[in-house]
Amino acid sequence: MGFKPIPAAIALALTLLIWFVIPVPEGVSPEAWHLLALFVGIIAGIIGKAMPIGAMAMIAITLVAITGVTNEKPADAVKDALSSLNNSLIWMIGIAIMISRGLLKTGLGMRIGYMFVAVWGRSPIGVAYSLALSDILIGPVTPSNTARGGAIVHPIMRSIAQSFDSDPEKGTEKRIGKYLSLVNFHANIITCILFVTATAPNPLVAELVAKTTGNAVTLSWGTWFAAMAVPGLLAMALMPLVLYFMYPPELKKTPEAPALARQKLKEMGAMSRDEKIMLAVFGLLLFLWAGIPAMIFGKAAAVDATTTTLIGLSLLLLTGVLTWDEVIREKSAWDTIVWFAALVMMANFLNKLGLIGWLSASMQTQIAGLGLNWVWGCVLLTLVYLYSHYMFASGTAHVTAMFAAFYGAGLALNAPPMLYALALAASTGIMMSLTHYASGSAPPIYGSNYVTMGEWWKAGFVMSLMEIAIFATVGIMWWKMLGYW
């Protein structure tokens, strides 16, 4: 059987309930309501893991094409169902995942991590900041935060912990491993906030903001990074200190860590040709994503963000750092393109058919009934959006299900469009810190058993409060200085 019966039955029941049983509300077209039924069923299937997310996405595309909820003509309905495969942002994130394979294949990601530890690893705090810096440095070209946190940084963290005999199986996790595990995870999440290309839900946020505002508000790579840099880096600087206070390691000095890192670097040998090429391509991507050519030579020299990723992948293929066989075997990239296209398509048509506007107006009416102005109304909306992630195991599913309606409700309250877009964008990253299932990087790090579930949830909640405080103060002031609102 290709699906899990219980979650599949729940998803189907919800779809049928909304489609056939619940009356279509006044002000909503039947087509919009029926698309909502399909949407809720698909999201329920994703949350319940009835099938892999890519498989659920294919079913979504098929259902939209068959039911004709977007267009009565079958030929036009299937065009609508496949419309988002022409979305450049979707291809950008997919190609960036392909490029990130080069960091793993060449060993450049591991080398960067060990280089930081070799310099700053003489204390647990130093090791913690080394792990954080490693995550930041490779973040722009690793949209899979699971790969970044779990496959690149986590092995470094574990080798350091075990070198100090900190092993959950021996009951010595408190020596240093517990602390470093939490730093490993939360550094990964804060990096997700910093770059639009650091995790899959971020480009979806940017896409939904643009669609909701008719492209009046756009979150480009440079705009996103400029907005998130100051509050995000402040959060990254404070995070290891807060976690040190919460879960202080028994070891206060780690003089052997730099020696271990140097030994690992020695085993890796000198930088290979492929590593050097990967580093050069990495630098070129940052140069173009940041819009530096346009700053120097004017708008005519600007390079589109998706074109930039195409250039990066093409260079890696031309130089042989990656082969085409490796690219087509990068299942996570192709999987992301498919599910991303399906979810964006459904969200776009929910908006076009007026359902998102109706939901936003309904929430705005409810908040107005509480007598709240736009400031406190948006605070309430943002907190509900963020902490409802306790019910989600996928940031993408959460963003798809809730972002557009909550953003639309904030706009209906007359919130400044860019300000509220950035607030919800930051919240999308913060919410992934809450639980051991809140993001893809959580399971491999939590699964190393250095941290109990209670400790993980406690640290996640404290980190969320700290990050909310930073973005609600420093972040908002910084965005004002940038002229974003």
The confidence score (pLDDT) of residue 151 equals 67
Question: Which segment of 35-49, 124-138, 256-270, 291-305 scores lowest on mean pLDDT?
Answer: 291-305
The per-residue pLDDT for 276 is 95
pLDDT band at 226 (very low <50, low <70, confident <90, very high): very high
Q: Name the residue with higher pLDDT: 192 or 43.
A: 192
What is the tens place of the pLDDT at every residue in 90-137? 787 788 778 878 877 888 877 877 887 888 878 889 889 988 988 898
CA of residue 266 relative to chain centroid, distance: 34
421 has pLDDT over 80 = yes
> In the structure, what pLDDT confidence band is assigned to residue 329 with cuts at 50, 70 and 90?
very high
Q: How far apart are CA 35 and CA 168, in angstroms?
A: 48
Band of pLDDT at residue 326, cut at 50, 70 and 90 = very high
Counting residues of the chain whose pLDDT is more than 90, the rounded percentage is 46
Residues 6+ apart with CB under 8 A from 317: 323, 324, 327
What pLDDT is recorded for position 243? 96
Residue 479 CA to residue 482 CA, distance in Å, equals 5
Per-residue model confidence (pLDDT) at position 371: 82
Residue in the block written with tokens 């195991």: 393
Average pLDDT over residues 288-306: 81
Q: What is the mean pLDDT of residues 358-383?
A: 85
Residues 439-464 pLDDT 10s:
877 877 887 788 888 899 999 999 99
Mean pLDDT of 211-237: 93
Of 238 and 345, the one with more pLDDT: 238
Provide the mean pLDDT of the chain.
88
pLDDT at 393 exceeding the cut of 70: no
Has residue 73 got a pLDDT over 80? yes
Q: Is the pLDDT of residue 19 over 80?
A: yes
pLDDT tier for residue 318 given thresholds of 50, 70 and 90: very high
137-196 tens-digit pLDDT: 888 877 777 777 876 788 778 877 877 778 888 888 898 889 999 999 999 999 999 999
